Amino acid sequence: EGSGQRYEASEADVRRIADACVRVAEAVNLGLNEADYLKYMGIDVVLEARGGSLVPVVLEANSRPSGLSHSRALGSGEASVMKLLLPYVSRALNRQERQ
């Protein structure tokens, strides 16, 4: 039998997880021009319970994350990241066609 226990994430836990993901995204894009940034990525984390808090441990970042249709954007929390991504892709393609 497992020794797991149920833990409800606090606002501070959620902020800590989001901050870790933002730091990963910044590191992935370090040294790139904004036009070349990886705009959306999947960041896989596991959560460790330490001293009554959840601590994110980053496993990997994926350039082609699965599940974008039900993901949430970190900044706005808006659901359906694909809806947010498609206008950007469309603008980028239009810029390429004009060049």
In the three-class reduction of DSSP (H, G, I as helix; E, B as strand; rest coil), residue 17 is classed as helix
In terms of domains, do 17 and 1 share one?
yes
This prediction has a pTM of 0.63
* Domains contained in the chain, number: 2
pLDDT at 72 over 70: no
In this prediction, residues 51-75 reach a mean pLDDT of: 76
Question: Is residue 73 very low, low, confident or very high in pLDDT (cuts 50, 70, 90)?
Answer: low
In terms of domains, do 60 and 71 share one?
no
Tokens 């004009």 sit on residue: 98
Amino acid at the residue 34: E
In terms of domains, do 57 and 90 share one?
no
In this prediction, residues 54-73 reach a mean pLDDT of: 75
Predicted local distance difference test score (pLDDT) of residue 90: 73
In terms of domains, do 72 and 88 share one?
yes
In terms of domains, do 24 and 8 share one?
yes
* Pair 80, 38: CB distance under 8 Å: no
In terms of domains, do 21 and 40 share one?
yes
In terms of domains, do 95 and 50 share one?
no
pLDDT in tens, 25-43: 999 999 999 888 888 788 8
Domain assignment of residue 92, given as a range: 67-99
> Could you give the C-alpha distances from 62 to 24, 32, 54, 67, 79, in angstroms and in order?
11, 17, 23, 12, 19
* Pair 78, 69: CB distance under 8 Å: no
